[in-house]
Amino acid sequence: MLVANESLPTSTYASSRDNCTMAEITDQDLADIYAFAVQLGKDAGNLLMQAMRQRIDGTFTTNPASIDFAEKENSVDIVTKTDNEVEAFIHDAVSKRFPSHQFIGEETYSAGASREYLVDGRPTWIVDPLDGTVNFTHLFPMFCVSIAFAVNGKPVIGVINAPFMNQLFTSCKGRGAWLNETQPLPLIQNPVPPMPANAPSGCTFSCEWGKDRRDRPDGNLSRKVESFVNMACERGGRGGKGGMVHGVRSLGSATLDLAYTAMGSFDIWWEGGCWEWDVAAGFALLEEAGGLVTIANPPENYETCTIPDAHLGGRLYLAIRPAGPGPDETGREAQERTIREVWKRVRDLDYTRPGV
Ligand code: IPD
Ligand code: CA
């Protein structure tokens, strides 16, 4: 079992209050939970780096075959000893401090048979101990721990620590979104840049290949690839669907995709197939920074419909960065315009789930 470098802070948060709903959580309660979550994120990030250092300094090679990991659904869906140890560390710390809070962690959840959506209105920690596990096994620095705290079904605290990048993202409802605790997000604030007038052209488009690699003519993989090509292709190409985005990026970590959207480094993130622990902390961060999250699949009347909220467990997400006003529109209008332009170009994906 790994040991954290730093001890967790002590706090006056009373465990007799810790099963209350959002309405009953005072500002001070939330501040205490936030402080605890930030320290937990730092400690868990230290554990990830400790494991990475052991790999770098030890006898391991960069050959992924030499790393101790197990397959879950298929050979690209993997879990390492570090995922399990860091999840156990976080779970243990949370249950000692807040014994009546709910806890959903990727590895304990995936080990069970049910794929039901379990988040309800109760105070719930939603945790991915290591997002970007494939990156981690290949020494690609885009991996992180992702810790969210949700009440009334909504993530209100997000802590994301990418220790190899020296990037700690933190947010709490009403208290802003931050990089390394001092830099407010989005990065450019004076003013927050508007969306390009001809978005998605001029935008950075972030997407993920995901884990569904089945070779089916109209399956998720081929629909994703078709959507990526539509977004990248020159304007006028692909029967009018060409988006000519500035760049297509795939970090290999849904959590960091959302964090980079909150920074403003990505304009658009579109993804199907990940789960609530991959996005909960990122949702909290992005919302606090002023971004917008909706559903990945284009609704039938996508040109005129009200923009629906993303379902946390819906596995289909489209996120837009914080945007300032342009000459003829508000930032929100520009975000909605961009969403419709993305929907025009992407295919429906099929990631169903019981109860959602
Ligand atoms: C995965 C990553 C990846 C996304 C997958 C996730 P993991 O999480 O976030 O970018 O495409 O859907 O499952 O397995 O590295 O924690
Ligand atoms: Ca993970």
For the chain, 356 residues long, give each residue's pLDDT as a single digit of tens: 333 333 333 332 233 344 445 547 889 999 999 999 999 999 999 999 999 998 888 765 555 555 567 888 888 887 889 999 999 999 999 999 999 999 999 999 999 999 999 999 999 999 999 999 999 999 999 999 999 999 999 999 999 999 999 999 999 999 999 999 999 999 999 999 999 999 999 999 999 999 999 999 999 999 999 999 999 999 999 999 999 999 999 999 999 999 999 999 999 999 999 999 999 999 999 999 999 999 999 999 999 999 999 999 999 999 999 999 999 999 999 999 999 999 999 999 999 898 78
- pLDDT at position 355, please? 79
**Beta-carbon contacts of residue 86 (< 8 Å; ≥ 6 apart):** 2, 44, 47, 48, 129, 130, 145
DSSP conformation letters of 64-111:
GGGS-EEESSSTTSEEEHHHHHHHHHHHHHHHHHSTTSEEEEHHHHHH
Question: For the sheet containing 167-172, what is the strand order?
Answer: 102-105, 124-131, 144-151, 154-162, 167-172, 177-179, 183-184
For residue 83, which atom of ligand 1 is closest to its CA? 16
131 is in an annotated binding site: yes
Residue located nearest, by CA, to atom 2 of ligand 1: 253
Residue located nearest, by CA, to atom 15 of ligand 1: 132
Furthest-apart CA atoms within the chain: distance in Å:
61
Q: Ligand 2 centroid to 135 CA: how many Å?
A: 11
Joined together, the tokens standing for residue 210 give 């995901």
CA 108 to chain centroid, in Å, comes to 19
Q: Ligand 1 centroid to 235 CA: how many Å?
A: 31
Q: Is the CB of 282 under 6 A from ligand 1?
A: no
Mode of pairing for the β-strands spanning 167-172 and 154-162: antiparallel
Residue located nearest, by CA, to atom 12 of ligand 1: 274
Handedness of CA 93, 26, 287, 323 (dihedral sign): negative
Q: Is the CB of 128 under 6 A from ligand 1?
A: yes
d(C-alpha 6, C-alpha 239), whole Å: 57
Q: Is the CB of 87 under 6 A from ligand 1?
A: no
Residue of 126, 131, 249 best suited for mutating to test ligand 1, as the one with most atoms within 8 Å of CB: 131
Find out whether 131 and 274 touch, Cβ atoms under 8 Å. Answer: no
Q: Ligand 2 centroid to 63 CA: how many Å?
A: 20
DSSP conformation letters of 167-226:
EEEEEETTS-EEETTTEESSS--TTPPPPPTTTTTT-EEEE---S-----TTSHHHHHHH
Q: Ligand 1 centroid to 195 CA: how many Å?
A: 27
- pLDDT at position 62, please? 53
Tokens 């315009």 identify what position?
A: 337
Bridge partners, residue 247, by sequence: 204
For residue 274, which atom of ligand 1 is closest to its CA? 12
Q: Is the CB of 253 under 6 A from ligand 1?
A: yes
Structural domains in the chain plus CATH codes: 10-184 (3.30.540.10), 204-343 (3.40.190.80)
For residue 143, which atom of ligand 1 is closest to its CA? 15
Q: Residue 271: exposed, middle, or buried by beta-carbon count in 10 A (0-12, 13-18, 19+)?
A: buried
251 is in an annotated binding site: no
Secondary structure (3-state) at 20: coil
CA 298 to chain centroid, in Å, comes to 21
234 is in an annotated binding site: no
- pLDDT at position 32, please? 97
- pLDDT at position 3, please? 35
Q: Is the CB of 138 under 6 A from ligand 1?
A: no
Residue located nearest, by CA, to atom 16 of ligand 1: 131
Q: Is the CB of 211 under 6 A from ligand 1?
A: yes
